[in-house]
Structure 1
């Protein structure tokens, strides 16, 4: 898939003409133009092309109309269809000679994570049973609000929406159902939802990579809420002038908060397994004072930096114990704890069960 940054003078009709010129000579370069997306508002166009290599695409475009793409990445057509909804040109209107596709590739991406944060009121095995039942409601809401499932695991969903409004309303319904269903109360389950919007091809190597990463980070750092990026919040407000979002369970970030989330997560993902890593490292390496880091973390997460680091490590430890690839001592040291005893205490304090009992319950 390639990206063209189109100037103000270029319209959707011009892009349709260029696509038609590509199709006339594509065979000369071993290419097949499958379809394209044009966004006059954001001044971008994206072409999906089967080709032997990037140079063939550049040569075809250059010979057809001279508009060489600004970026080309390799993609899987199935994934493209999951994100964008099609991999072929829409049917041309019988009333037009030219198939003008004024169809943006801009999408709202929703990340959903379902996780167990405590086993005080439940046993580890029942989590798997209950999460499977709850997933059905996610699928129902996704279909209702015309979303598409890009990826799905038992405790994780990646969804794509053409409409920002539909994405936000879908998230609200999923969140409300989760909290209103009595059989899930007091089980220690937590629902995290992050929404961000963007274009498929940036400077990264995979589709929607920047958009997906930030939405995932929202789920990691701000727990138990629906988190909206600044762009999603602005677009929703512009489409729904008289409708207010419930700020009790929806957190809309500003650009400064988004930047802070990225800085914190970049550094945490790099250093979390280092036993010497603590909150002091944030202020030393991110350009903030200790008090600034504390205030920003409390405003975003409701917890201190050290609490965030500890919970991040415990989540990693839970994953390792579930995979049964390391014993408890190995898990403790590999997740940044300086002793198995301290790790067991932290695990018990957070999850309400000793790691040894968790392993026995989960594997038994």
Structure 2
């Protein structure tokens, strides 16, 4: 039976005791609906509660809540138990809570999300896969030890990203600075030049209006990694929370970049549109500026200030990164990749790819096949 997580936005008057009572009401009647209320989280500061429930479908959860206490969730998403545990540390009530009658769990589901992007795919001037494999093996082992030290949890890995969950902004920043040094050391010991590293750090809750757990926080961190210059990029909320946790400001400068709320909003709007339009070979800067509501000159200034690239260069780089991802999957030929990523012809794609990476797409594919 599937597992779901729902979100309840509660009033300022609601306490941890109230939420515990509602959970108990669910437990009393869950069998009537073929459900199993596994656990819940409550965030008193943000006034949000999240329930983890095994149920036949979303509609049945709403019916159970309605009969038990009348508190219908604002949103529900389907989740995987192992992913929930990776991000939040548990999929059932804490042991100490089970020993109490009311079972009060004053545990917020709010997390700091770190995304690590390792662009070892771009090291195609070193096509031998053995150094890359050595690097990844050493990196994973070292990061695992590091996360234990900083109370982080590796929640998900999807090349070229590592997604990590922390309960503390400060610990996430400390871990990021250590990872920065770690990548240099592991690259050297693996016989590579330094593997390009980007770390994006954002914050959020598991259920919003999206379909995936922590989707908003993960997407923001990934996008910061993808287009913002710097090795460690943090959201405006991370900067604010760091100050509240440490009574000092975030040490910006060097390799740490903090976005403003205005820049985050622009980045989100920019990437939402780019995600929907980049595969269209007729997509132009004029289309970009018109959709964004800027003149071409305004878009140029805004984009170069934020990403360090012009609109034309941004579009081309976006497409080349997507093309590199497709080539690494080895499921499409070069012509298919060229058209799938919005290039007008395979010849033009090969020219751009060669200029960007120093290898032709065919040489890169042959190198991958020879070492797979």
Q: Hey, what does 1:71 align to over in structure 2?
A: 75
Q: Hey, what does 1:174 align to over in structure 2?
A: 179
Deviations 1:218-243 (A, max 9, x none): 12212552111111111112112235
- Kindly indicate whether the alpha-carbon contact (under 8 Å) linking 2:138 and 2:186 is maintained by their aligned counterparts in 1: no
C-alpha displacement at 1:102, in angstroms? 0.7
Deviations 1:312-346 (A, max 9, x none): 11122222333333333343333222233332232
C-alpha displacement at 1:197, in angstroms? 1.1
1:251 and 2:257 aligned? yes
Deviations 1:26-61 (A, max 9, x none): 222222211111111101111112222333322332
1:358 and 2:372 aligned? no
Q: Hey, what does 2:132 align to over in structure 1?
A: 127
CA separation of 1:66/1:250 partners in 2, compared to 1, >3 Å: closer, same or farther?
same
Q: Hey, what does 2:217 align to over in structure 1?
A: 211
Q: Hey, what does 2:169 align to over in structure 1?
A: 164
Equivalents in 2 of 1:239, 1:203: separation in Å?
28
- Kindly indicate whether the alpha-carbon contact (under 8 Å) linking 2:183 and 2:195 is maintained by their aligned counterparts in 1: no
- Name the stretch that deviates more: 189-198 or 122-131: 122-131
Equivalents in 2 of 1:356, 1:332: separation in Å?
12
Aligned residues, how many?
A: 364
Deviations 1:143-179 (A, max 9, x none): 2211112212453211111222212221221123224
CA-based RMSD of the aligned residues comes to 2.4
- Name the stretch that deviates more: 182-191 or 12-21: 182-191
- Name the stretch that deviates more: 234-243 or 113-122: 113-122
C-alpha displacement at 1:119, in angstroms? 4.0
Q: Hey, what does 1:307 align to over in structure 2?
A: 313
- Kindly indicate whether the alpha-carbon contact (under 8 Å) linking 2:150 and 2:171 is maintained by their aligned counterparts in 1: yes
SS in 2 for 1:189: coil
CA separation of 1:233/1:243 partners in 2, compared to 1, >3 Å: closer, same or farther?
closer
1:335 and 2:341 aligned? yes
1:326 and 2:358 aligned? no
Q: Hey, what does 1:275 align to over in structure 2?
A: 281
C-alpha displacement at 1:25, in angstroms? 2.4
- Kindly indicate whether the alpha-carbon contact (under 8 Å) linking 2:116 and 2:199 is maintained by their aligned counterparts in 1: yes
Equivalents in 2 of 1:319, 1:128: separation in Å?
17
Deviations 1:247-294 (A, max 9, x none): 221111111111111121112112212222233322111101222222
CA separation of 1:55/1:187 partners in 2, compared to 1, >3 Å: closer, same or farther?
same
Equivalents in 1 of 2:218, 2:320: separation in Å?
23
TM-score for the superposition, normalised by structure 1 = 0.91
Equivalents in 2 of 1:304, 1:156: separation in Å?
25
C-alpha displacement at 1:94, in angstroms? 9.4
1:145 and 2:164 aligned? no
- Kindly indicate whether the alpha-carbon contact (under 8 Å) linking 1:120 and 1:188 is maintained by their aligned counterparts in 2: no
- Kindly indicate whether the alpha-carbon contact (under 8 Å) linking 1:121 and 1:186 is maintained by their aligned counterparts in 2: no
- Which contiguous aligned blocks of 4+ residues in structure 1 show a shift greater than 6 angstroms? none
Alignment gaps of 5+ in structure 1: none
C-alpha displacement at 1:185, in angstroms? 8.9
- Kindly indicate whether the alpha-carbon contact (under 8 Å) linking 1:21 and 1:65 is maintained by their aligned counterparts in 2: yes
C-alpha displacement at 1:71, in angstroms? 2.0
CA separation of 1:124/1:288 partners in 2, compared to 1, >3 Å: closer, same or farther?
farther
SS in 2 for 1:303: coil
Equivalents in 2 of 1:340, 1:171: separation in Å?
39
C-alpha displacement at 1:97, in angstroms? 4.1
Alignment gaps of 5+ in structure 2: none
- 2:64 is matched with which residue: 60, 64, 85? 60
Q: Hey, what does 2:8 align to over in structure 1?
A: 4
C-alpha displacement at 1:301, in angstroms? 1.8
C-alpha displacement at 1:208, in angstroms? 1.5
- Name the stretch that deviates more: 339-348 or 76-85: 339-348
